[in-house]
Amino acid sequence: MIAPYLRYHQTFQLLRKKNVGKNEVDGFKAYRYYLAIKLHFTTDKFNVFENRGNVRGTRESFNARNDRYIFEKLANKYSTDRDIIQYFVSNFAYGAGNAIYDGKEAEDNHFEWNRRKQSISKVFVDDLASVITHIEMNKLPVSSIFDFRNDEYPVLLNLFVGGKVTIESLRIIDDLHPFIDTWRDNSKIKFIWDDELRRVTKLTGFVKYDKIKLGKIFESFKEEIA
């Protein structure tokens, strides 16, 4: 099986065109990237890595769109495939796909995405510290981090929806200690937080980190709370 991060590069390399002296991306191409990333993050069946980014959409239909100027503007600003893809991913990852129609919010999301990406180890350590602090201050059992207790959600879910733990850290934790699929199967949250948990799942392949380094950090975290 090809690792998600390898499929990431293979997928979007298939869509690239070599335009010497020109932008790699035009409005239509930006629009197709937008459709692919949107389908990836908002549906269970479409996987941008497995589908190689293939989506329906013709240049004629694009030219008929009233909002095509937005994609043309984005293509001028984010002129490489990597940049425009990261722009769309950052917004859909943070549940703000429509933010592209509101420039400032979308730019803020993109900035935050890059900030976290550049310091992912620190973000992860800080988030684990938040989990430890929460269970110690509230005198909760370790099992409450991942498990449903009576009518209460897992600590990690509460901290995530409360903005105390990042979606990137949830993605990493789920890589190291799978739990998202179990949560998504739970009837208590299936129709409440399923969109949010889908986004965590769909971040597979987009959150890059040193698995050995962060794996050791997570093992230390488990030892500390044991």
Same domain, 112 and 125: no
Residue 83 lies in a domain: yes
Same domain, 15 and 105: yes
Written as six digits, the tokens of 126 are 């800080």
Task: Give yes or no for residue 2 having a pLDDT over 80.
Answer: no
Task: Give yes or no for residue 20 having a pLDDT over 60.
Answer: no
Could you tell me if 132 and 225 are in contact, meaning their C-beta atoms sit under 8 angstroms apart? yes
Boundary residue ending a domain (68, 97, 116): 116
**What is the per-residue pLDDT for 22?**
56
Same domain, 103 and 148: no
Residue 83: CB partners within 8 Å, gap ≥ 6? Answer: none
Structure pTM? 0.87
Confidence of residue 17 (pLDDT cuts 50, 70, 90): very low
Distance CA 189, CA 169 (A): 20
**What is the per-residue pLDDT for 18?**
40
Residue 147 lies in a domain: yes
Question: By residue range, what is the domain housing residue 182?
Answer: 119-221
Average pLDDT over residues 188-216: 95
Higher pLDDT, 209 or 150: 209
73-87, 92-106, 116-130: least confident range: 92-106
